Structure 1
Amino acid sequence: MDQIIEFFKHLISPEWIIQHGGLYLILGIIFAETGLFVGFFLPGDSLLFVAGIYGEELSASFFNMPFVVIMALIAIMGILGNMVGFWFGKKSGPLLFKRKDTFLFKKKHLWQAKEVFDKYGAGAVFIARFLPVVRTFTPIVAGIVNMERKKFMFWNVVGSISWVFSMMLAGHYLNKAFPNLKDHLEWIIIIIVVITTLPVIIKLVFGKSTIHAHFDEFGNPIEPPVEKEEIKS
């Protein structure tokens, strides 16, 4: 049991993932975090950023492939992950609204992703890529609401490429500008986690959502949201 707990601790450490699992483990984690609801706790942004810092090592360990190929492979896994989430949402997603919370599943994450989707429409598939936790559940919600497949795939591809390339290139070029960056990875990871999760935390703590009043336990609309009237001075 202690070994399992220790393994899960390592799974949320980007540096450990890169040094012990290399590109193969990165591909698996990106797929799980973007396509399987049980992967919401896995690192995404920080893993990609640190992978950019270790870009040369990753290329050398994978048949000396160019760094752009490494990024492309990871982006493809992000695309495939979202496709699996979309398929899962279409097939059995509505049942998730009736599922009880477990250690690996929290219904509030599903509602949060649905609220982002309702606010931004198809663009939510792109925006969610840059929001931890939300990016795991958004493709599932897209499947639940029967989003047009072509539209979903467009934003899926654009979002995955933008997310992966921006995070990895940032790490890659910052490492070139500051060669001692690897000596401060702990602080870098903490800063990235705080920056990327802060909007989500603020929304969960301070946001007042009326989404539960307008959707039943299956995610079907009960009535259209009532817009607040402007207070006349």
Structure 2
Amino acid sequence: MEIINFILGLLHDPRGAIAGWIVTLGAVWVYTPLFLIVFIETGLVFFPFLPGDSLLFAAGVFSADGGGLNLGATLLVFYAAAILGNTSNYWIARFFGARIIDSGKIKALTPERMAKLDHFFEKYGGLTIVITRFMPFFRTFAPFIAGTGHMNFGKFTLFNCIGGISWVSLFVLVGFFFGGVPFVQEHFEIIVLGIVAVSVAPAFIGAVKAAISSRKSGKRDFEVEAAVDAERIARAKHARSEEEAR
């Protein structure tokens, strides 16, 4: 229960969480929970719900002058966490992926999400690792799918580094440069929720499109089956008519 409350608190107010860590852990050890949260979100397929985007943004805010964090250290810690997390995820999947999927314990790894990722890999190849960095849930599952599919590790590492550095840089630097704006300070929680909403939007839109497409496909299949049945009945009636005529 404490873990759930911790995650909910982090989702609602990452700024308050970081401020508390700075006070209790000090200027050096505060980077430990920052590293662990991003590493766990990207490295363990069981924790796709951790708030990576909003945490990066909030850490960027605290990296501005007088915030308690150092921008260079913040970026390096998050780069390491994001890249090492994905690498860990890849190798876990490489050796245990099939067993984990068959166990059915990863409720968030739905058949729809797996199909979406398969489509991404077919369409974009290794760029999927970069693209999904900006999509919650999918960024946790993409390296896992890459591992189960035995994607070349050198190729994976290249796109992993590009994606990790791009993702971290974007959110941390946006927080760094715009976190001090009065409007942002006054509406911080709303902006964090907006970041989460924008991040989740592509996955939500994709799910809606997939559902609509599936429904249309099911309707077409029903119509085809109905047409086939009607044709079969018509042929049977015609055959009986010919027999009666004879």
> Which interval holds the TM-score relative to the shorter structure?
0.7 to 0.9
Q: Which amino acid aligns with 1:45?
A: D
Q: In the alignment, is residue 74 of structure 1 matched against residue 82 of structure 2?
A: no
Q: Which amino acid aligns with 2:198?
A: I
Structure 2 match to 1:199: 202
Q: Which amino acid aligns with 1:15?
A: R
Distance 1:59 1:75 in 2: 20
Distance 1:7 1:70 in 2: 22
The structure whose Rg is larger is 2
TM norm structure 1: 0.78
Task: Please state how far the C-alpha of 1:180 moved relative to its aligned partner.
Answer: 4.6
Structure 2 match to 1:114: 118
For 1:212-231, list aligned pairs within 5 A: none
Cα displacement string for residues 135-168 of structure 1 (whole angstroms, at most 9, x for unaligned residues): 0010011111111111111111111111101111
Which shows bigger deviation, 104-113 or 46-55? 104-113
> CA distance change for structure 1 residues 181 and 133 in 2, over 3 Å: closer, same or farther?
same
Identify the match of residue 128 of structure 1 among 129, 132, 148.
132
TM norm structure 2: 0.74
Aligned residues: 204
Task: Please state how far the C-alpha of 1:59 moved relative to its aligned partner.
Answer: 7.0
- Whether the aligned pair in 1 keeps the contact of 2:31 and 2:77 (CA below 8 Å) is no
Structure 1 match to 2:15: 15
Task: Please state how far the C-alpha of 1:107 moved relative to its aligned partner.
Answer: 5.2
* Structure 2: unaligned runs, 5 residues or longer: 22-29, 215-246
Identify the match of residue 96 of structure 2 among 92, 96, 104.
92
Task: Please state how far the C-alpha of 1:89 moved relative to its aligned partner.
Answer: 1.2
Q: CA RMSD for the aligned pairs? A: 2.4
- Whether the aligned pair in 2 keeps the contact of 1:83 and 1:139 (CA below 8 Å) is yes
Cα displacement string for residues 67-86 of structure 1 (whole angstroms, at most 9, x for unaligned residues): 12221111111000000010
Identify the match of residue 49 of structure 1 among 51, 54, 57.
57
Identity rate, percent: 32
> CA distance change for structure 1 residues 5 and 35 in 2, over 3 Å: closer, same or farther?
closer
> CA distance change for structure 1 residues 16 and 129 in 2, over 3 Å: closer, same or farther?
same
Structure 1 match to 2:41: 33
> CA distance change for structure 1 residues 15 and 152 in 2, over 3 Å: closer, same or farther?
same
* Structure 1: unaligned runs, 5 residues or longer: 211-233
> CA distance change for structure 1 residues 50 and 204 in 2, over 3 Å: closer, same or farther?
same
